[in-house]
Chain A
Amino acid sequence: MSAVHRRSLADAAATEALGAALAGGMASGVVHLVGDLGAGKTTLVRGLLRALGHEGAVRSPTYTLVEPYDAGGRRIYHVDLYRLGDPEELAFIGLDDLFAPGVLTLLEWPQRGAGVLPRPDLEVTLEYVGGARRAEVCGITPAGAAAVAKISSCET
C-alpha cells in the first residue's frame, strides 16, 4: 500500500470534499498544506471545518497567522506562515500550543518555518496547472499513512 493519494479537483466543491475526507482520516496531528496562491488551501480547510460542523466564517489566517477553531469536539489550528520573516519568530506566536497532543494543526507555507517546525504527519500538495487543480496527499508518519488509506477509500 502506497502512502500517497492523488486526485484531481474539478471545482471548489471537490476541494472541499477532499477537506471533508481529511477530517475523517485524521483526528489530530500536523498537516502541511503546500501550494501557490489560489491553489485552494483555504478552501480545503473550509471543507474540513464544515465537515466537522463549523458553520461560521473561515477567515484567512494570512494576517493573524493563526485562526483557532473548536469543531467536532476537536481543537483545530489553521496557520499561515507566509508573513513569517524568520522561523525563530514562531516562538512569539505560541509554538507549543500549535503542536500540543490531541490538536489538529493545518499549516500553510510550512517552508517559512523550516528547521523549527516538527515533522508533519501528512503533506497535502495542491497544484493549479493549465486550468485544472489536483492534489497529492502524502503520509509521512504511520498515522499519516493510515490517514492516506482512509482518504483514498472515500474518493467519490
Chain B
Amino acid sequence: MNLILGIETSCDETAAALYCPRDGLLAHAVFSQVAEHAPYGGVVPELASRDHVRKLTPLVRRVAAESGVALSDLDGVGWTRGPGLPGALMVGAAFGRTLAWGLGIPSVGVHHMEAHLLAPMLEPDPPEPPFVALLVSGGHTMLVQVAAFGRYRVLGESVDDAAGEAFDKTARLLGLDYPGGPAVARLAAEGRPSAVTLPRPMTTKPGLDFSFSGLKTAVLHAVQESDGGPGSRADIAHEFQEAVVDTLVIKSRRALDRTGCRRLIVAGGVGANARLRERLTEEAAERGFTVHYPRLELCTDNAAMVAYTGYRRLAAGFRDDMDFSVRPRWQLSELAPPVV
C-alpha cells in the first residue's frame, strides 16, 4: 500500500489528492482554488460549483502529473461515501470504484467527517489521540472526542445553524460580501467592545450542543434598532464575533474538562478566525492544554484528508465490494471502528 488516490465530491468542492505512507502527501488539488489561482489546460473555471463530473478527471490527471506518477502505479482508492448530496457523492463513488476495479486494486468509501478529524495527521508534527476536535465551518459545528483511529464520540453539535453560516448570514445583514467570515472579522476590528449586547447561545445550559439561529435573529434586531451607520455596524460585528468566539471557547473548555483530554484540534474554515485563535491560545496557556490548527487548506473540504483516511481504512482491512453505495445521511456514530 504505497500510493493512494483520494477523491472528494460530497458537496461544493471537487478535489483529488495522492498520499504515500512513506513520503506523506504528494499532491492535492481543489478545483475552485485551482481555477482561481492557476488556470490550466482542460479546466474551465466557470463550471457550476457542483458539476463534479466535468471537473474530476482533469483534477486527478493534475495531481498525478504533479506527483510524477501514473494512475497504473496506484495501490488503492479512497472516495467520500457520505455524508453529502446524493448526486454529488455518486460522481466520486462511480469514479473511484470504477477506477479501482479497472486497475484491479482495492477501494474504500470514506466518511467525510472522519476525514476531517484525521486531517491533522497530515501535518509534520501530528497530534496523537486522544484529543477533542472542534469542527467549525459553514456546514458543521461539532465537538468530537477522538479516542483513537476509528473511535469517535460526538460530544455536541449545532441543533440549527452552523457557526460559519452565522458569520455568512450576519455578513449579509450588515451588507457585507459572501463568504462572510473574513468580512465580519475585518469590520469587527473597528467596533467598540460591549457597545451592543448579543446572547451567547446555550452557554448557560450544561450540554455541549450549539445553537446559532437565535444569535442571527438577535443580530437582525440589533441592525434594525441601530442607526445603520458604519460605526454601529462595526459595533454589531464586534459583538457578534465575541458572542460566537465566547460560545466556542466555553464549549471547547467544557468538552476538555468532561473527557479529561489535554489536546484540542480546531478544524474547519472558522478555525482561521484570528480572534478565536487568540482566545483559545490564552485559554490553553491558562488551563494547561495544547491547541493544534491544521493548515487552512486541510481545514476546509479537500481530498488530502480523504486519501489519508482511505489509506488508514484500507490498511485496517476495509474494502468496498462490487455493490458499493453512497450514504448521504451517514452519522459519525454509525462508522465501524477497526477491529484490533
Q: Taking A37-B169, A38-B220, A92-B52 as contacts, is the C-beta distance between A60 and B88 under 8 angstroms?
A: no
A60→B162 CA distance, assembly (Å): 8
B206 CB to nearest A CB, Å: 18
B321-338 vs A, Cβ < 8 Å mask (1 yes, 0 no): 000000011000000000
Q: B129 at the A/B interface (Cβ < 8 Å)?
A: no
Q: Is the CB of B88 within 8 A of A92?
A: yes
Q: Is the CB of A94 within 8 A of B87?
A: yes
B3 CB to nearest A CB, Å: 30
A111→B217 CA distance, assembly (Å): 23
Q: Is the CB of A131 within 8 A of B50?
A: no
Q: Is the CB of B88 within 8 A of A59?
A: no
Q: Is the CB of B213 within 8 A of A60?
A: yes
Q: Taking A37-B216, A42-B213 as contacts, is the C-beta distance between A62 and B161 under 8 angstroms?
A: yes
A66→B85 CA distance, assembly (Å): 8
Q: B204 at the A/B interface (Cβ < 8 Å)?
A: no
Q: Is the CB of A94 within 8 A of B85?
A: yes
Q: Is the CB of A92 within 8 A of B160?
A: no
Q: Taking A59-B159, A63-B138 as contacts, is the C-beta distance between A92 and B87 under 8 angstroms?
A: yes
User: Which residues of B lie under 8 Å from residue A92 when comparing CB positions?
Assistant: 48, 50-52, 85, 87-88
Within 8 A of A (CB), among B260-280: none
User: Which residues of A lie under 8 Å from residue B161 when comparing CB positions?
Assistant: 59-60, 62
B167 CB to nearest A CB, Å: 12
A68→B86 CA distance, assembly (Å): 11
Chain B interface residues toward A at CB < 8 A: 11-12, 48-52, 84-88, 138-139, 158-162, 164-165, 168-169, 172-173, 213, 216-217, 220, 224, 328-329
**The 3 nearest A-B residue pairs measured at CB:** A63-B139, A38-B220, A92-B50
A-B contact pairs, 23 of them (CB 8 A): A37-B169, A37-B216, A37-B220, A38-B216, A57-B159, A59-B161, A60-B161, A60-B213, A62-B168, A63-B138, A64-B11, A68-B329, A83-B12, A85-B49, A86-B48, A88-B48, A89-B48, A92-B85, A92-B88, A93-B86, A94-B85, A94-B87, A97-B86
